[in-house]
Amino acid sequence: MAQTVKRAYKYRFYPTPEQAAELARTFGCVRLVYNKALEERTRAYTREGRRVSYAESSAALTAWKREKELAFLAEVSCVPLQQALRHLQAAFAHFFARRAKYPTFKSRKKSRASAEYTRSAFRWRDGRLTLAKMDGPLDIVWSRPLPEGAQPSTVTVSKDAAGRWFVSLLVEQTMDPLHPTGNAVGVDAGITALVTLSTGEKITNPRHERADRRALARAQRAFARKTAGSSNRAKARVKVARLHARIADRRRDFLHKLTTSLVRENQTVVIEDLAVRAMVKNHSLARAISDASWRELRSMLEYKTAWYGRELVVTDRWFPSSKLCSACGTLQKSMPLNVREWACACGAVHDRDVNAARNILAAGLAER
């Protein structure tokens, strides 16, 4: 059955100097408002034990605009500033519900520069997007079409550390489920093989970060040699950021293709619940685990199976998938990481990863 979902389409765009200046001012004001509101909420919470509501923060924003030192806040669109307060409200809601840590201040250097515009702050006409406070539309590179008749409800503009500008359009889209199949597959995540399937197929880990490690190290050394505050240091920082962006883009593209293939070919996908945050504390494997990006792999599988009418089953993280014989069910006492192939007393000889994927599939189907 078809369902309507909210989906974001992200594109690069190239602003004019005037648009870039306006957006830079907006980014700075969004960051300032978020940090001032967080400071006020923290003061009220620590000194008075009181929670500040969104309405109170919004009233404070109005008062800040009347102050001489903060009058510049009135020069940019008010919508991104209000959206910053809403994001802070959501962050506190997650904190009080114990779903997240306490909100932190936004940094000019480390935080993503972005601004969110709702319907009242942009004009969408004939495929051209014009933001509030701007005379002309954005020069967007339409790398893929929007769904026919789509009307963006929210527009998010951002600039990454590599100096690239992006616009993300949130639209409602009707998703038709894929044709049902009888296939089910177990997926075991790894480092040498990014994923091993219960069918015996292994997908080699591209190791994108490792491929560019030498160039990245060279760029980072050049950056470290530059004088702090100099224009050459700023240029070197952008070179490092571009290498990081290249690695991230290639990794994300590979994961999208892999997860789409898994979802299209299988009705049920079974994965293991991995404690990635704990695993990266192992300094010997942290870099390789981060490069594999298992968390992003799972996230993609979650929303793609939901979109296309597939089923994703997650097995318990303590399930001994590697130590269990998929043929007879005998549990081995230990299975060191360096053991890649082993023989069970029943006579079955197992590839460690393929055996684990088959056990994950069996456990997932049993939990349904």
Active-site residue, from 116, 209, 272, 291: 272
One DSSP character per residue, 248-298 reads: HHHHHHHHHHHHHHHHHH-SEEEEE---HHHHTTSTTTHHHHHHHTHHHHH
For the chain, list residues with pLDDT below 50. none
To the query of whether residue 188 is one of the catalytic residues in this protein, the response is: yes
Specify the pLDDT at position 36. 97
Specify the pLDDT at position 281. 85
The residue extents of the domains of the chain are: 3-175, 184-367
| CA nearest neighbour of 311 among 221, 198, 181 | 181
Q: Mean pLDDT across the chain, nearest whole number?
A: 94
Specify the pLDDT at position 359. 96
- Token pair in block for residue 270: 């079974």
To the query of whether residue 353 is one of the catalytic residues in this protein, the response is: yes
How far apart, in whole angstroms, are the C-alpha atoms of residue 107 and residue 27?
11
Active-site residue, from 116, 188, 209, 291: 188
Specify the pLDDT at position 279. 87
Active-site residue, from 22, 116, 209, 353: 353
CA distances from 206 to 45, 105, 194, 215, 356 (A): 47, 35, 8, 17, 21
Contact 6/93 with Cβ under 8 angstroms?
Answer: no
Note the pTM of the prediction, 2 decimals. 0.89
How far apart, in whole angstroms, are the C-alpha atoms of residue 195 and residue 201?
9
Quick: pLDDT tens for 316-352.
989 999 999 999 999 998 888 889 999 998 999 999 9
How far apart, in whole angstroms, are the C-alpha atoms of residue 356 and residue 125?
53
CA distances from 132 to 59, 83, 118, 124 (A): 22, 14, 10, 11
| CA nearest neighbour of 276 among 260, 264, 292, 255 | 292
Specify the pLDDT at position 367. 83
Specify the pLDDT at position 283. 85
